[in-house]
Amino acid sequence: MVFFLSQGLGHAVMIQVEHSMGAPGMYYAAGAMGLAGAVLLWLGMRQNSEVAGTWLGYFAAWLLWTGWVEFSFVYYARWLDVAPLLDEAGEVATNPEYLVMMSSLGVMLATLVYFLFNRETRCNFFRWCHRWLGMGTGKPTEGHMRNFAAITALETIYLIWFFYLFLLVIYDENVLGDTHPATYGIAALNAAWAIYLLQRLLRFRRVATALRYSIATAIIAWNAYEFVGRWGWVGDFFVQPEKYGWQILGVGALSLAIVAFCLFMPAGKRERERVAAMERELSAG
C-alpha cells in the first residue's frame, strides 16, 4: 500500500514544488531532495537490520529519483524549449520532461545488461533468465554480504525508470499509441501481472523479502493506474495538489503511519538471529 501510494505522492510533490516555487527555486529544492536521499542511503547502508535497510533504501531512491532525476529532465526540457505532446483535443498528453526522458532509453538498456549478467543478483526475473536461457555467469560468491539499502535503492530507481520508458514507448505514435488495440491488450496483461504478483506476495512470511517484492508489485500495479488515467477513465487527484491538498496530505500521513508501525514492530526471532550473526561475522573479520 505504501509503495503504491508513494508513486502518486512523488508526482504530487514534484508538481507542488514546480508550481509553488518556479525556476530557479524548484531546482534548489530538487537538489536538496536528492541530497536528503543520498543521506538516507548512507544511513541505510550502515544498518545491520535488513528491514530498516530496505525501508531506508526505498525512500532514498524515492527522493533521489524525484529530486535529481525527474527535475534534471524538467531543467533540460525547459532549456531546450521542448514542446509538450498534445492529443487530438489539444490537451497535453505528455509533458516535455518525459519526452526528454525517452532519450535515456539506450543508457538504461546498456547499464541494465550489467545487472542482468551479475552473478550476485537475487532478482527472480534475472535468475529465471540465468536458469532457462543459459545466461548465467557463474555461481554467486560464497559468503557474499549484500547491502540491502543499496540493493533496494538501485532496484527501485531502475524499476521506476524502466516502466516510465515502457509506457512512453508504448504511447509513442510511431510505435503503438495510447489508443492502439495492442495497447489495451498490454494494459490488460499488465493488470493480470500485478494481480499475479499480489497473490504471490500475500503468501510471503518473511517481512524483509516481502517488502522488496512488494516494491516491484506496487510499481507494476501503478502502471495499470497510469493506463486508465491516460485514457481518462479515472481522474488522478495526485497531479492536482492545489485542488486536493488535504486528501494528498492524508494519504501521506497514512503512509508514514504504516511505515512507523512496520519499523516499530518486533523484528522477530529469525531477524534478530540473522542480525546477530552478521555482527559476529563483522567483528570477527
User: What is the pLDDT tens value at each position of the chain, 285 positions in all?
Assistant: 889 988 888 888 888 888 888 888 899 999 999 999 999 999 999 887 888 888 899 999 999 999 999 999 999 999 999 988 887 777 777 889 999 999 999 999 998 888 888 877 777 778 888 888 887 777 777 766 778 899 899 999 999 999 999 999 999 888 888 889 999 999 999 999 999 999 999 988 888 888 889 999 999 999 999 898 888 887 777 878 778 788 888 888 988 888 887 767 655 556 656 666 666 666 665
Residues in a beta bridge with 182: none
Q: What is the C-alpha to C-alpha distance for residues 135 and 149, in angstroms, rounded to an integer?
A: 27
> Is-contact 121 103, C-beta < 8 A?
no
| pLDDT for res 28 | 93
CA distance 257 to 79: 40
pLDDT at residue 156, rounded to an integer: 93
Say what the pLDDT of residue 39 is: 95
Phi-psi group of 49: left, alpha or beta (phi > 0 → left; psi -120 to 50 → alpha; rest → beta): beta
Grid cell in block for residue 264: 516499530
pLDDT at site 134: 80
Measured at the alpha carbon of residue 16, what is the angle toward residues 14 and 18, in degrees to the nearest 5?
65
Q: Which of 1, 15, 7 is nearest to 245 (CA)?
A: 15
Backbone angles phi, psi at 209, to 5 degrees: -65, -40
Residue 50: the pLDDT is 82
Q: Distance between CA atoms of 161 and 61, rounded to whole angstroms?
A: 11
User: What is the distance in angstroms between the CA of the first residue and the CA of the last residue of the chain?
Assistant: 39
**Residue 232 near residue 93 (C-beta atoms within 8 A):** no
Torsion angle in degrees (nearest 10) through CA of 221, 106, 111, 163: 0
pTM over 0.75, yes/no:
yes
Report, in angstroms and rounded to the nearest whole number, the Rg of the chain calculated over CA atoms: 20
Predicted local distance difference test score (pLDDT) of residue 76: 93
Sequence ranges of the domains in the chain: 2-134+146-284
In angstroms, rounded to a whole number, what is the distance separating the alpha carbons of residues 101 and 96? 9
Output the pLDDT for position 267: 55
Give the C-alpha separation, 157 to 141, whole Å: 25
